[in-house]
Amino acid sequence: MVKITIKDLSFSYGSRRILDELNFVVGDSEVLSLVGPNGSGKTTLIKCIDRILKPKGAILLNGGRNLESLSRQEVAKLIGYVPQSTTGVLTTTVFDTILMGRKPHMGWRVSDEDIDKVVDIMKLLHVEEFALKDYSELSGGQKQRVLIARALCQEPEVLLLDEPTSNLDVKHQLEVMETVRSLVKKTRISAVMAIHDLNLAARYSDSLVMLKDGKVHAIGDPLSLLTKDNIRSIFGVEAVVMRDLDRPYVVPISSLKGEAV
C-alpha cells in the first residue's frame, strides 16, 4: 500500500530552483533513502514533505489527504521529523525533550497518558537509563536516539530523518540505522531519510531515490540502483560495486576530476 505520494513537487529559493517536478511514492512500512551528492536537494525535500518549507505540487498521505490542506498541528500528528543531532540548543532533560514530541496532542497540562507514552518509547529506544540527564550531556548516538524517540512520541505515520548518521562513529551509525529499520517493521510506520552513506542506505533501505540537481535520477531497490554507471553519473566517482548478504556494497575508487558527470 502507498503511504505517501509525491506529485509534481517543486521548490525554489527565490529564482533558484532546488527541486524540480519530483514524482515518487513511499510504501507502507517502507524505509526509503534519498541519496545524491551535496546540493542535490535531499534535505530540502525532507523539509518540504514535513511542510517546514512550502513547495509547489502535492504530497498525498494514504493516497488521499493533501498535506497542504492540513494545519501545522495536524501535519505534526502525522509526520515526525528527526533533525541532525547537532542542530538546536536543548537545555532540557532527555525526558522533557521526548515529552516535547507530545506537543501536537496535548495542551499545557501533561496527562498520565502522555507520560506513559514517553516511558514506553524511551524503553523502545533504550534511552530510559539517562531519562533525567540533560540532553546536552549525551553522546552523538544517544542524542540521535532521543530525537527519534521525540519524533515517535508524535505517533506519526511517517518518520523523516535528515542525515541521521552524520557525525556518528561506525558503531553508533549501525545502532541508529538498526533502530530505524526495526521501528519501521515493529510499528508499521514508513521512514524517509536523507543519507550520504551509500552502504548504510543499501543495507537498511527497501528502496532508494537518487537525486541530482533537484531532479529524480532513478528510483528502485538498492541492488538495481547502486550500479557503477549510476554512481559515476550521480556522484562523479569511479567505484567498484560488490555484493554482501544480497545487498550491494560500494567501494569508491577515484574521483572523475574535470569530467562532466
Partner 1 sequence: MSEAETMSTDTAIENSELKEEYASFVGRKVLFITLSIVGIVVLAGIAATLGSANITPVEVYSAILARFFPGNFATTDFTDTIVWQLRLHRVLMGIFAGMGLAVAGSAMQGILKNPLASPFTLGIASAASFGASLAIILGAGFVGGQYLIVGNAFVFTMLASLTVYGLAKYKGITPETMILAGIAIMYLFSAMTSFLQYVGESEEVHEVVFWMMGSLGRSSWDKVAIIALITVICTLILMAFSWDINALGAGDETAKSLGVNVEFVRVLCMMLASLVTASIICFTGTIGFIGLVAPHITRMVVGGDHRFLLPASGLVGALILLAADTVARTVLSPVILPVGIMTSFLGVPFFIYLFLKRRKDYW
* Binding footprint of partner 1 on the chain (CB under 8 A): 47, 50-52, 71-77, 79-81, 83, 87-93, 95-97, 100-101, 103-104, 106, 108, 115-116, 119-120, 122-123, 128, 131-132, 134, 136-137, 151, 154
CB closer to partner 1, 3 vs 212 = 3
Phi-psi region for residue 253, left (φ > 0), alpha (ψ -120 to 50) or beta?
alpha
Residues 56 and 66 sit within 8 Å (Cβ to Cβ) = no
CA distance 197 to 202: 9
Nearer to partner 1, 120 or 178 (CB): 120
Mutual angle of helices 112-124 and 140-153, in 10-degree steps: 140
How far apart are CB 190 and partner 1 at their closest, in Å? 16
Minimum distance, C-beta of residue 235 to partner 1, in the bound complex (Å): 27
Phi-psi region of 198 (alpha: psi -120 to 50; beta: other; left: phi over 0): alpha
Name the residue nearer to partner 1 (CB basis): 131 or 219.
131
The least CB distance from residue 35 to partner 1, in Å, is 21
For partner 1, the closer CB: 8 or 116: 116
CB of 137 to partner 1, least distance (A): 7
Q: Are residues 81 and 50 in contact, defined by beta-carbon separation less than 8 angstroms?
A: yes
Lookup: cell for 99: 515529552
